[in-house]
Amino acid sequence: MPVELQWGARTHVMGIVNVTPDSFSGDGLATPDRDITAVVEAALEQARAFVDAGAELLDVGAESSRPRNAYGDHPDVDAETEAALAVPVVRALVAELGDRAMVSIDTSKGAVARAALDAGATMVNDVWAARRDPGTAEAAAAAGAHLVLMHNREGIDYPDGVFASVVGWLREAVAAAEDRGVHRDRLIVDPGIGFGKGSDENLELLHRLGELKAALDGLPMLVGTSRKRFLGELLGGAQPDDRVEGTAATVALAIAAGADIVRVHDVAQMARVRTVADAVVRR
- The continuous run of DSSP H or E covering 268 comes out as helix 267-281
- Name the burial class of residue 136, with classes exposed (0-12), middle (13-18) and buried (19+) by CB atoms within 10 angstroms of its CB: buried
Model-level pTM?
0.94
For residue 41, pLDDT over 80 is answered with yes
Across the chain, how many H-helices and E-strands are there?
A: 11, 8
Catalytic residue flag (residue 228) = yes
d(CA 54, CA 51): 5
Count of Cβ atoms closer than 10 Å to residue 253 Cβ: 16
Q: For residue range 271-280, what is the model confidence (pLDDT) as tens digits?
A: 999 999 999 9
d(CA 69, CA 197): 9
Name residues whose C-beta falls within 8 Å of residue 244's C-beta, 6 or more positions apart in sequence. Answer: 266, 269
- The continuous run of DSSP H or E covering 26 comes out as none
Q: Catalytic pick from 91, 243, 263, 274?
A: 263
For residue 71, pLDDT over 50 is answered with no
Q: Contact at 8 Å (CB) between 54 and 275?
A: yes
What pLDDT is stored for residue 23 in this prediction? Answer: 60
For residue 67, pLDDT over 60 is answered with no
The mean of the pLDDT values for the chain is 94
Domains of the chain, earliest start first: 12-281 (3.20.20.20)
Residue type, position 257, single letter? A
What pLDDT is stored for residue 72 in this prediction? Answer: 52
What would the mean pLDDT of 210-214 be, rounded to a whole number? 98
Q: For residue range 138-193, what is the model confidence (pLDDT) as tens digits?
A: 999 999 999 999 999 988 999 999 999 999 999 999 999 999 999 999 999 999 99
Strand partners, 147: 124, 187
- The continuous run of DSSP H or E covering 34 comes out as none
Q: Catalytic pick from 227, 228, 243, 274?
A: 228
Q: Compute CA 93 distance to the chain's CA centroid, rounded to the nearest angstrom.
A: 17
Name residues whose C-beta falls within 8 Å of residue 150's C-beta, 6 or more positions apart in sequence. Answer: 125, 126, 127, 128, 129, 189, 190, 191, 192, 195, 222
What pLDDT is stored for residue 30 in this prediction? Answer: 86
What pLDDT is stored for residue 22 in this prediction? Answer: 64
d(CA 173, CA 159): 20
Catalytic residue flag (residue 114) = no
d(CA 1, CA 25): 33
What would the mean pLDDT of 51-74 be, rounded to a whole number? 78
